[in-house]
Amino acid sequence: MSRIPGKHTKPELVARSLLHHLGYRFTVNGPKNRQLPGKPDIVLPKQKSVIFVHGCFWHPHPNCKTATTPKSNTQYWQQKFERNIERDRKSKQALKDLGWRVIIVWECELKNLDTVASRFINELPRDSKYDLPEELDDLALVAEQKTQYGQRSLR
């Protein structure tokens, strides 16, 4: 188990990339990440929100098709999973008591990025500067023409 990474896992990288593309700025190694209860994977200080990216194996959740229990030493694994779930519950409650918004993203959810993106947009406060003005909603945004791109004006 010591070879299993605890940080910067593929699901975390996917979630961070998605957040960044949506215009959110966050920390992953900042002081708040280490000081907050449960050591959140992603902290958005401006929105006073934290995101935990849970793997379906280590943090089993109901109705997940990818969460499995190893066939050997089943009792040990069942107890371990129960401890993980209890620890997660306590961390979530402690963060809420401190006034933080807690979002949990499951590894299996990240297979459908549209769903996760809409969840982030709905659950996290957003700067209006990233939204298109209403009069531009129906217009197609066009890039510079090929002849103009990369040319400098000479003065």
Beta pairing class for 101-106 and 49-54: parallel
- Whether 147 is in a domain gets the answer no
- Report whether 116 contacts 110 (CB < 8 A): yes
The predicted pLDDT at position 59 comes to 87
- Report whether 103 contacts 124 (CB < 8 A): yes
- Whether 74 is in a domain gets the answer yes
Q: What are phi and psi of 104, to 5 degrees?
A: -115, 125
**Total domains in the fold of the chain:** 1
- Whether 96 is in a domain gets the answer yes
The CATH number assigned to the domain holding 69 equals 3.40.960.10
The predicted pLDDT at position 145 comes to 45
**pLDDT tens, per residue, the chain with 155 residues:** 555 556 778 889 999 999 999 989 999 888 877 889 999 999 999 999 999 999 888 888 888 888 888 889 899 999 999 999 999 999 999 999 999 999 999 999 998 889 899 899 899 887 666 554 555 444 444 444 444 444 454 54
Q: Which domain holds residue 113?
A: 10-136
